[in-house]
Structure 1
């Protein structure tokens, strides 16, 4: 394919005409955009990196013998349940995600246990931990005013930290705000077919996300469109490079990246005119962090 990076004919706003009938639509970024509350949306890679790095700096991982874990339930608070881990200075409190992981490790139905008073759920968990065949689990705890149990995995879980992914992206994309070629995308004007790469980054337009379970980043090189050929009317067929990547340091997702060419991103963050889509995923297995 004959490709040429060019300063395409642009309108007064700096946008350029695209033909989104070519290629495919990819909805993965739009799904993320729809599901993220404001506190999971970040306006720059620097802001996002500071959050996930700070979280990791206050966290620790350790191997624990399941038979030595003591479940502590409060009779005065039917919803409070904590775990006393060997060698820990204070009890750790599982969150919704890690409670489900813990239940899965011992073969207990998490949805049912969540409906029980803490004391009764604790009895069931204690029995499961005492008779757990695997003997060991790996915990991941974060201290932030209280000690929160963020993940419970098997002993061979190969953790790749969220900040490692974000910092790797920063090395090529800087802040992700236009200080390098890679930036948060612009938006397609459906009425004109013009894609405008210069759009203010707000909570509504950003594509940099992180929760207590994962990170997801989508960036494009839309200020440097590529001519992939010609349209029937002789106008250039323009697209640009893009990629998105994701990770979960607590076992909710794999590590992965997808790269592609695309012609536009609309307001609800659907990708239009996508071609040459390539994706790779890495499971958090024993040696994942060294790959």
Structure 2
């Protein structure tokens, strides 16, 4: 089982401004829905697009609709379409820069796609680009990723849910979705991302993980699936693929969780021994040191020495071990106790039992 540490959400965390951060998926969708409702695609012939300078800024005149401000991204796109270096344009005075752009923008009968929001230009594209709205992608997420939520809030305040000038990113996990994967406990999660303005492709990545820290690094991820699509005329089909991938993750979660719940329910009923001495002896057959076993027996005494209570006690005690290697070894010993109640003989990582 190949494991990966996923850093995509971690990288997003440290490049996002606070005003790009949403509190939850509903707030992110509300923001993106407003952008969709207020956005307007204008198909302009090149000769109807006129850059000009005013008050030290470069604006675009779009036919008879007045002037619109350029943001950093749409200005970069305009420079690319004109075939001139953005760095070069930035060295010129606004008046000279506007003249240079006006003289280098292409001419002809092929229209240019200009996305505006209010009096601002969000993006400038040729005819090959097909937009997929962030709100439409998030609607699919909200419909099919039931019970998923953002990861633990980062110390910096980041939530894993972002929408900025250039793109959108969402990180979701199911903290109650722990299930067995090859004898260890994993929970499901996924990333989705998109850009309405051509900054990046549409994408989704699903995975099963064992831990997510407050820096939003996903540790020990398995079954990582990733799909991306460019914004061409078939981008609508890609949205259907995102739906299928998320549905598959949810379906697999439900199948695995049902099996996991049955094992835990059985472990909560069956006893490891009739008294403390018998339980301690059995723990030693599983390789649990006598000192650690004695502490676990003491913690589990009030719950009738069920297999679950002993596993839970060992898990809590393992968290006090200062060395990661020894903690992992202690967890693995405790996990093997669940073989006693698993019909398939699979063990479950006890970290899941503490959730």
TM-score by length of 2: 0.63
**Partners of 2:187 and 2:109 in 1: CA distance:** 49
Residue 57 of structure 2 corresponds to which residue in structure 1?
80
**Alignment partner for residue 220 of structure 1, among 170, 173, 184?**
173
User: After the TM superposition, which residues 20-59 of structure 1 pair with which residues of structure 2 at under 5 Å, given as runs?
Assistant: 23-59=3-39
Deviation at 1:50, TM superposition (A): 1.1
**Alignment partner for residue 93 of structure 2, among 107, 117, 142?**
117
**Partners of 1:122 and 1:182 in 2: CA distance:** 48
User: After the TM superposition, which residues 1-291 of structure 1 pair with which residues of structure 2 at under 5 Å, given as runs?
Assistant: 23-74=3-54, 77=55, 79-88=56-65, 90-129=66-105, 131-132=106-107, 135-143=110-118, 147-173=119-145, 180-186=146-152, 204-230=157-183, 237-291=184-238
**Partners of 2:10 and 2:109 in 1: CA distance:** 40
**Partners of 2:137 and 2:164 in 1: CA distance:** 14
Deviation at 1:115, TM superposition (A): 2.3
**Partners of 1:122 and 1:207 in 2: CA distance:** 39
Query: 1:62/1:289 Cα in 2 relative to 1: closer, same or farther (>3 Å)?
Result: farther
Query: Larger Cα Rg: Structure 1 or Structure 2?
Result: 2
SS of residue matched to 1:278: strand
Deviation at 1:104, TM superposition (A): 0.4
**Partners of 1:64 and 1:183 in 2: CA distance:** 41
Checking the alignment, whether the CA contact within 8 Å between 1:255 and 1:284 is kept in structure 2 is yes
Deviation at 1:185, TM superposition (A): 2.2
SS of residue matched to 1:35: coil
**Partners of 2:236 and 2:94 in 1: CA distance:** 36
**Partners of 2:233 and 2:156 in 1: CA distance:** 37
**Partners of 1:37 and 1:69 in 2: CA distance:** 32
**Partners of 2:138 and 2:80 in 1: CA distance:** 29
**Partners of 2:207 and 2:161 in 1: CA distance:** 18
**Partners of 2:158 and 2:103 in 1: CA distance:** 48
Checking the alignment, whether the CA contact within 8 Å between 1:140 and 1:152 is kept in structure 2 is yes
Kindly indicate which of the two structures has a greater share of residues assigned to strand: 1
**Partners of 1:202 and 1:290 in 2: CA distance:** 38
Deviation at 1:201, TM superposition (A): 8.5
Residue 194 of structure 1 corresponds to which residue in structure 2?
none
Checking the alignment, whether the CA contact within 8 Å between 1:184 and 1:201 is kept in structure 2 is no
Checking the alignment, whether the CA contact within 8 Å between 2:18 and 2:158 is kept in structure 1 is no
**Partners of 2:25 and 2:94 in 1: CA distance:** 40
**Partners of 1:202 and 1:208 in 2: CA distance:** 15
Deviation at 1:134, TM superposition (A): 7.3
Deviation at 1:109, TM superposition (A): 0.6
Residue 15 of structure 1 corresponds to which residue in structure 2?
none
Query: 1:142/1:205 Cα in 2 relative to 1: closer, same or farther (>3 Å)?
Result: closer
Checking the alignment, whether the CA contact within 8 Å between 2:155 and 2:214 is kept in structure 1 is no
Aligned residues: 238
